[in-house]
Amino acid sequence: MESLDKQNALRMITLFSGAVKGIAFYPASHPAIHQPMVELYKILTSAFSRADQIAWGLIDGIMFYDDHLFFEPSTAISDLTNRMLEKDVGRIIMTADVSFEEMQNFIRLFSNKGISFDVLATQLLQEGILHIHLVRQGAESFDEQDDQNDDVKDDRVGTYNKALAAIRSVCRDIERGRIPNSAPVLRIVDRMVSMTMQEPTTLMGLTMIKDYDNYTFNHCVNVGVLAMALGASLGLDADTVRDLGIAGQLHDIGKTMVPKEILNKPGKLSSDEFEQMKRHPELGSKIIREMKGLAPHIAQIVLGHHLHYNRSGYPQWARKLPFNQMVDIIATADTYDAITTLRCYQHPVNPKTALNEMRKLTGTVLDGALMGQFVEMMGDYPVGTVVRLDTNEVAVVYRPNPLENEAPVVRILIDENGERLPVPREQSLVDHDGSRYASIVAVVDPFLKNLDIGRLVSSGNFY
Ligand SMILES: [Fe+2]
Ligand SMILES: [Fe+2]
């Protein structure tokens, strides 16, 4: 059965094209734009009562909607055609469950002139728009597009962004009072497991991304990445590493139910506010128990992530319950990301200081044996450390070298003359054949060099 007849398909495309044009002139709440969007969403809803997925776009320059072709273009169709050509978008695919908000945000992003296909596709993921996909001109399908990209480029940033989008959609569902869909998180964790099992620290450079505005989302993904890396470096099997990834990514989702004023309060929390904050592990584990496809022990790990190694933490009622080692792995990753994030906005210092502070917590908050492994995995120069080389260049450590601690893979930020490179350059300090590029002579304070490491990593220039 067709999702829309030709007349409604044309109406849908006309409304979409009009909304894309109109959003540049009116705020989304203005009736001149809001009303057509409501009508558009109504047509989409009726289409999704008959199909799980709809697509529209261009075939040989002709606009189509599913099986309908529009040979005689109206102004609205010509406008949309030009915008799609400009962005190299061949097809827009929407899947059932697309929300009004997603549609509205997509229209806003799509209306931006002069942005490339890749930028737009990344923005969709960053804004958690999961039910709208774009296919590039000439590509057969979204899946094929995705696979091609995987083959040709380092997809670590893409993976990180997809993980962010997944956790964002989970939190959005919670805010709307829905039981979150676990599928996007499970899908992306599966991908991260295969990358991590090949080389435990492969994704670790990404945990340098500390976005203050999206702290909770970045923190969740970072804890997932760090916990998986620690699990893999301990020699745990792929299923356990997968569980660590899932639990890490979901460990703080209970915070979605803590009032925003408390979460974002800059000063010290009152005892009543702290009591509310302390409920996030049990709130999170309760939501996880209701989500499909998650094993009960994931909920248990989330429940216990603030219990501390000596079980003196919260929730108090759970102190005597049995917990496995995964709880302490998550706690180690959680503490590291929290300390390095905090420092990032106060006075960024080298991650080694974070490790030293964590050492003081062993035996009480953290498990000493796990901490030993964590320090070993991080190496002498943990990822994110800014260093001066004997070539006089300044670089940031990007990947540890398990064979030679002193010679990690770095990204060179400042050349030998003190000039900032427009695009950081990746450099192995020692090559496979043993030839040496340079040695580290000192750790540099990024604050003095005015280097915002988090921003450099997330700028895309970095990778
Ligand atoms: Fe937490
Ligand atoms: Fe946390």
Q: Chunk the chain into consecutive blocks of 10 residues (it has 463) and report each block's average pLDDT, rounded to whole numbers.
A: 88 94 86 91 92 84 85 86 88 89 93 86 84 78 38 62 86 89 91 88 78 77 96 95 97 94 84 94 97 95 97 96 96 92 57 89 96 91 88 88 84 89 85 86 73 55 37
Residue 256 near residue 249 (C-beta atoms within 8 A):
no
Burial bucket for residue 5 (CB in 10 Å: 0-12, 13-18, 19+): exposed
Centre of ligand 1 from the C-alpha of residue 309, in Å: 15
Which residue type does 211 have?
D
Q: How far is CA 282 from CA 81, 126, 177, 277, 385, in A?
A: 50, 28, 17, 11, 35
For the full predicted model, state whether its pTM sits above 0.85. no
Which residue type does 154 have?
D
Residue 374, C-beta contacts closer than 8 angstroms, at least 6 positions apart: 230, 332, 336, 355, 358
**pLDDT the model gives residue 348:** 52
Centre of ligand 1 from the C-alpha of residue 252, in Å: 5
Ligand nearest to the CA of 303: 1
Centre of ligand 1 from the C-alpha of residue 305, in Å: 6
Ligand nearest to the CA of 258: 1
Per DSSP, the three-state class of 199 is coil
Residue 137 near residue 116 (C-beta atoms within 8 A):
no
- What gap in Å lies between CA 244 and CA 196, rounded to an integer? 12
Q: Which of 97, 99, 105, 96 is nearest to 20 (CA)?
A: 105
Q: How many CB atoms lie within 10 A of CB 130?
A: 22
Residue 242, C-beta contacts closer than 8 angstroms, at least 6 positions apart: 189, 190, 193
Which residue spans within 71-143 are E strands per DSSP?
89-95, 132-136
Provide the H-helix boundaries in 210-324. 215-233, 238-250, 260-263, 271-277, 280-290, 296-303
Centre of ligand 1 from the C-alpha of residue 251, in Å: 6
Ligand nearest to the CA of 334: 2
Dihedrals phi, psi of 64, to nearest 5 degrees = -130, 155
Instruction: Please report which helix (H) or strand (E) contains residue 332, including its range.
Output: helix 325-346
Centre of ligand 2 from the C-alpha of residue 366, in Å: 14
Ligand nearest to the CA of 284: 1
Centre of ligand 1 from the C-alpha of residue 280, in Å: 7
Q: Which of 314, 313, 166, 173 is nearest to 257 (CA)?
A: 173
Which residue type does 307 have?
L
Ligand nearest to the CA of 338: 2
Burial bucket for residue 120 (CB in 10 Å: 0-12, 13-18, 19+): middle
Q: Which of 97, 113, 112, 110 is nearest to 41 (CA)?
A: 97
- What gap in Å lies between CA 443 and CA 227, rounded to an integer? 26
Q: Domain coordinates of the chain in residue numbers?
A: 6-111+134-139, 156-378, 386-458
**pLDDT the model gives residue 297:** 95
- What gap in Å lies between CA 108 and CA 212, rounded to an integer? 23
**pLDDT the model gives residue 215:** 76
CATH no., domain 156-378: 1.10.3210.10
Centre of ligand 1 from the C-alpha of residue 313, in Å: 11
Centre of ligand 2 from the C-alpha of residue 170, in Å: 16
Q: Count CA atoms closer than 13 A to 47's CA, side-chain side.
A: 30
Centre of ligand 1 from the C-alpha of residue 205, in Å: 22
**pLDDT the model gives residue 139:** 64
Centre of ligand 1 from the C-alpha of residue 330, in Å: 10
Per DSSP, the three-state class of 447 is coil
Per DSSP, the three-state class of 372 is helix
Centre of ligand 1 from the C-alpha of residue 115, in Å: 37
Instruction: Please report which helix (H) or strand (E) contains residue 69, including its range.
Output: strand 68-70
Centre of ligand 2 from the C-alpha of residue 128, in Å: 20
Ligand nearest to the CA of 336: 2
**pLDDT the model gives residue 147:** 39
Which residue type does 181 have?
N
Instruction: Please report which helix (H) or strand (E) contains residue 389, including its range.
Output: strand 386-389
- Listed residues: CB within 5 A of ion ligand 1: 252
Instruction: Please report which helix (H) or strand (E) contains residue 70, including its range.
Output: strand 68-70
Ligand nearest to the CA of 219: 2
Burial 299-333 (b: 16+ CB within 10 A, else e): bbbbbbbbbbbeeebbbeebeeeebebbbbbbbbb
**pLDDT the model gives residue 208:** 76
